[in-house]
Structure 1
Amino acid sequence: MISCQWCEELADDDRDEVLALVAAAAEYDEEAGFSRIEPRDVTARSRKGVRVSHLAVKARRGLSALDDVPLVVVAYLHLAVDDDGLGTVQFVVHPDYRSRGIATLLVEEMGLDVDRPGGWSGTGARSLRAWAFGTHPAAERLTRRFAIASVSRLWTLFRSLTGPFAVPLDPVRLPDGTVLEELRGLDDAASEKALDDVLGRSGILPAQLEKLAESRAHGTGSVVVASGDTGRPQGFVWLDPTLHPHLDLRASWIRALVLEKEARGGGLGAGLLVRALEVLRDAGAQIALMRIDPDDDGAVRLCRLLSFEQEDAHTCYQVGDWHEPPGYV
């Protein structure tokens, strides 16, 4: 019913079909907030420390049983394996072919044995991880059927900025000697230096630092940096005021809120977050969105105090041993 073969780089025809597939899926899944694959991942090649493999899954158009019906790409899997054999998976099925058993059939044919010689399916992967964003019934069914463990969670939170459910944004008293600098672009040289300084003293795990670095490299938006009386950056908030529809409302994202370890617990995080919410509100957003780790008690408490509410949950699934917690964006 399906056919597929690993490759280091997609052939031109397959690449064009896969690019069309991920674009159609991104548009179809936007409101639900499901996982999406960026076009740059479809054209990615292996690089130092990362082996990239592509899998275009094909079937007869309409899943026809007739041999004269042409093959089309119905799903795509992207795998990035590091030098330790840790494999990060991204997978998407074309909207026209969902709920028809494509993912189940693929797992049944390929298996999930990561201990065989050569790793999973000969890719070198000794363990696998994949994030499923949104409450996705297909992901839940698939992982339950094949006993794939969940190892981490994220929440998407929302906060009303206008309308009848919007709580006023009260001023926050900052720690003595701390000031919030003017809004600057994410790619501003001063912003980049300040973010690097804060991240270096944040105590964030390497996997999360790597995800943040990747997001910054391809991201947009602005940052507000908090500095102490010596001028040293103590924290930052990264926000993207770009408006997009979300449940018939205009929404914008807060991408990251990071403090150095010594600056936590004194109100600086609340001050940065309130400033970001003010910027998004003034840019026309009706709601603000952000993701947090629900196991981070400080982040959960802060967001609740500022009237954020949980909207959705996301799950990271894992096959094999991988001891470091997963990063997220």
Structure 2
Amino acid sequence: MVHLTWRNGLDEAETAEVFELLAEAERVDGVAPAGEHVAMRLRAHRGVSEQIEPVQADVGGSEHFVVRADGGELAGYAHLDTEGEPEGRPLVAELAVHPRYRGNGVGSQLLRALLERSETLAESDEEDSGRLRVWSHGLLGGAVRLAERFGFTRVRELWRMGREFTGDELDEPVLPEGVTIRGFRVGEDEPELVRVNHLAFSWHPEQGGMTEAELREKEDLDWFDPAGFLLAVDSADRLLGFHWTKIHPDGTGEVYVVGVDPNTQGSGLGRALTLAGLRYLRGVGCPRVMLYVEADNGPAVSVYRRLGFERWDVDAQFGR
């Protein structure tokens, strides 16, 4: 028997259990069952003055669904992001089942609870904010079958593309006249970075809404390195674009975010920034590099293919 409970916040011990479950699922499946966004929510907390009692994973817009076996072991976990709910955007969920408890209905129990919660929220909102989207990272067979059994259809695909760094030369970046590249300055560049990011990704459901507070949270993560956060500026040091790189524990580099002010489009700045970041990652010893791109972003996919990237795997978002 397993038992599901709902939380609006997890204490430190429960948060540690969730991270252990996510790590075990990733070890078995070869792909993380939840994205970076969920990990950041689990590490964060609201101010004590906003809480009934101090709880680590207590953040506005996050809800947690916990499934435990009779012995108390964590068998499954789901995170529901309700941050966009007041604005009528779909609710977004990610879930994971401990490998030892798969095939026992834990995934179905979590998904059923997520649907019930989304319907409850929809009843109180004329904008029908209860629409639910669920991520399947790596398109694992069990996750796809579960989504289809509950009547979900695929509404979005995110490709993970990658390439090895071989002896092939990477072109020298060709910058527009008067533009130079420098490193990110912590404590100074945040407002301009957020401004350009919003302009570059106004269409994107996650990236476009990044705030200064969220940027500063990422500056505290172990992998953050301002030397690999490349900014393109004009002669007046006005930010025109950026390439934020990331290095994973296994040494794999990542084209984390490349964004340019739309007013610079057509100048070749995006390609120049991409090349600059790739050369940086190769220069610090990364054997390979990866990135995420929307599957329906044909121009971006074409650019990355010309730079030697191939599709590695797919994350899909299912909706109902």
> What TM-score, normalized to structure 2?
0.79
Structure showing greater Rg: 1
1:35–1:78 distance in 2 versus 1, CA, 3 Å: closer
Aligned counterpart, 1:56: 66
In the TM superposition, what is the alpha-carbon distance from 1:259 to its structure 2 partner? 0.6
Look up the equivalent residue of 2:276 and give its one-letter code.
R
CA spacing shift, 1:211–1:191, aligned 2, 3 Å: closer
**Alignment correspondent of 1:151:** 155
- Which residue of the partner structure matches residue 208 of structure 2? 209
Gaps of 5+ in 2: 44-55
- Are the counterparts in 2 of residues 114 and 125 from structure 1 also a CA contact under 8 Å? no
Unaligned runs of 5+ residues in structure 1 are: 61-69, 320-329
Would you say 1:279 and 2:290 are equivalent positions?
no
Aligned residue pairs, count:
291
For residues 190-243 of structure 1, give each alpha carbon's deviation from its aligned partner in whole angstroms, at most 9, with x where no partner exists: 332441242243252363322586466325233111123443211100002x34
- Asked if 1:244 corresponds to 2:249, the answer is yes
1:245-294 C-alpha deviation (Å, 9 max, x unpaired):
3xxxx411121000111112221111111111111111111101111112
Question: 2:33–2:96: 8 Å Cα contact kept in structure 1?
Answer: no
Query: CA 1:119/1:244 → structure 2, altered by over 3 Å: closer, same or farther?
Result: same
Report the equivalent of 1:169.
170
Q: Report sequence identity in percent.
A: 25
Contact 1:167-1:307 at 8 Å conserved across structures: no
C-alpha contact 1:157 1:312 (8 A) present in aligned 2? yes
Deviation, 1:34, is 4.1
What does residue 142 of structure 1 align with? 146
Deviations 1:83-120 (A, max 9, x none): 42642212111122234432124445x48356755549
Report the Cα distance in structure 2 between the residues aligned to 1:39 and 1:95, rounded to whole angstroms: 23
- Counting only pairs closer than 5 Å after superposition, residues 163-202 of structure 1 correspond to structure 2 as 166-181=167-182, 183-184=183-184, 188-202=186-200
Q: Show the counterpart of 2:49.
A: none
The reply on whether 1:302 has 2:307 as its aligned counterpart is: no
Instruction: Identify, as 1 or 2, the structure richer in helix.
Output: 2
Residues 275 and 146 from structure 1, CA distance in 2 versus in 1: closer, same or farther, beyond 3 angstroms? same
Q: Distance in 1 between matches of 2:65 and 2:216?
A: 27
SS of aligned partner of 2:189 = helix
Partner of residue 6, structure 1: 6
